[in-house]
Amino acid sequence: MTIELFDLDALIAEHDIVGAQVAVLHDGEVREAAAGVLNNVTNEKVTTDAAFQIGSITKIWTATLIVQLVNEGLLDLDQPVRTVLPNFTLANENAAETITPRHLLTHTGGFDGDLWFETGDGDDKVEKYVAMMADARQVVEPGELYTYCNSGFVVLGRIVEVLRGKPFHEVVRERLAKDLDTVATTFAEYANQTVATGHTGKEHTPADKYLTEAAAPAGTVLAMSARDLVQFARMHLESDEFAAMRNVELTLPNFGLGGKQGLGWVLQTYPGGQKGMAHTGSTLGFEASLRVLPEAGLAIAILTNGGESLPLVRAVHEKVLSDKVSIKPQPLPTPPFVPVPVDVEKVVGVYRSAGLEAHVTEGDGGTVRMRFVALDDIWKTLVDDDEHEYTGLRDDALIAVQKEDGYHPVLVLCGRDEENRVKYLHWGRAAARV
């Protein structure tokens, strides 16, 4: 059934999106729409049956498999990972022996999170990836600070493999996707689907590669239609089996969006007290968004394959949430009319996370300038190396003066070193001063 609330063709034209799908599940009924092209060279049209990569929304699938294990008494979230994976090794031995699945589900393991090891496409690819993590450095102590961690979810995927006795993709297929027609769980399965091409950069250049298949449990492989994504969300609407995933585990760093962390899910409270869960995903040229409001029986999936997707996502959310539950999304943060003074000397420096550095220098009039320096080929594709001006948002946060990708990014300033300088620059990942 089509969606009458908005014209998706007009929205992708307005926001310069290559192609998009939207699906809305409400009170048991799914409505869907598609617009644009799968590839801007072939110009094949997007249909509602095409598959798009969902990126890190895969983490909700992985978390769901983990909670199934917990519910069956096969896994304890608070026992060390080594209870299941005795050879689990990191550069910091103390961390490796104490990190638990709960740490991994809540991004509080504290180790390097963006590791893109290539280990082939065999059934042992996830196992090999986890073995290669032996040199992964510890950025913060386990449990000390939320810092987004893809590699932690690969470890969770390996736990699923060991306890189920099957490769991760087979478990996904059998337990979560057996009734979903468009889902591809491996790159080889893309041949069985009509799969969109991701488009990168302002020029919308078709991507000529994928991220490593070994990181599939974190979100590098899983592809499907928006319709099948909301059908997956249906189990989180219609069953209490996964209610533990909605419990608040910690408060996220304050990027001006609110939100708390559950087991996999980001938890949101809307005006009027309506509760919801959400996750987003990003791979090479793909952006994905999933929002679920259990009390309203509502799930919204938006998948795109090139362009600045956030303005389109916001437009769809505003239309659907207003119509279905009479609420509006929380406004995005904007620079204050009177900027908060920045203690420039305490902020400037170089901060490093896995594969990426942030170089912060003094700007004009009490501002600072920040540019990313990619340390590997993946990050060179994902970030630009332009210098961006930031001003004070709060005593513990900076905000970009100009919009990037449709919003003003916020950097949170975490901790202090022995010289009272900012210790971590946080944009979702905590990057340590070097």
Residue-level pLDDT at 48: 97
369-381 pLDDT, tens digit each: 999 999 988 888 8
Q: Summarize the confidence of residues 312-327 as an average pLDDT.
A: 94
Instruction: Calculate the dihedral angle through the C-alpha atoms of 152, 301, 183, 281, rounding to the nearest 10 degrees.
Output: -30
DSSP assigned state of 55? G
More confident residue, 328 or 36: 36
What one-letter code names the amino acid at 98? T
Fold type of domain 1-331: Beta-lactamase (3.40.710)
Q: Clarify whether 56 is annotated catalytic.
A: yes
State how far the Cα of 421 lies from the Cα of 415, in Å rounded to an integer. 8
Work out whether strand 205-206 and strand 29-36 pair parallel, antiparallel, or are unpaired. Answer: unpaired
18-50 pLDDT, tens digit each: 999 999 999 999 999 999 999 999 999 999 999
When pLDDT is cut at 50, 70 and 90, the band that residue 192 belongs to is very high
Give residue limits of the domains in the chain: 1-331, 344-433
127-177 pLDDT, tens digit each: 999 999 999 999 999 999 999 999 999 999 999 999 999 999 999 999 999
What is the share, in percent, of the chain residues with pLDDT greater than 70? 100
pLDDT exceeds cutoff 70 at 2: no
Residue 84 and residue 162 in contact, taking contact as beta carbons nearer than 8 Å: yes
Residue 266 and residue 278 in contact, taking contact as beta carbons nearer than 8 Å: yes
State how far the Cα of 92 lies from the Cα of 102, in Å rounded to an integer. 18
Fold type of domain 344-433: Lipocalin (2.40.128)
Single out the catalytic residue among 56, 151, 289, 309. 56
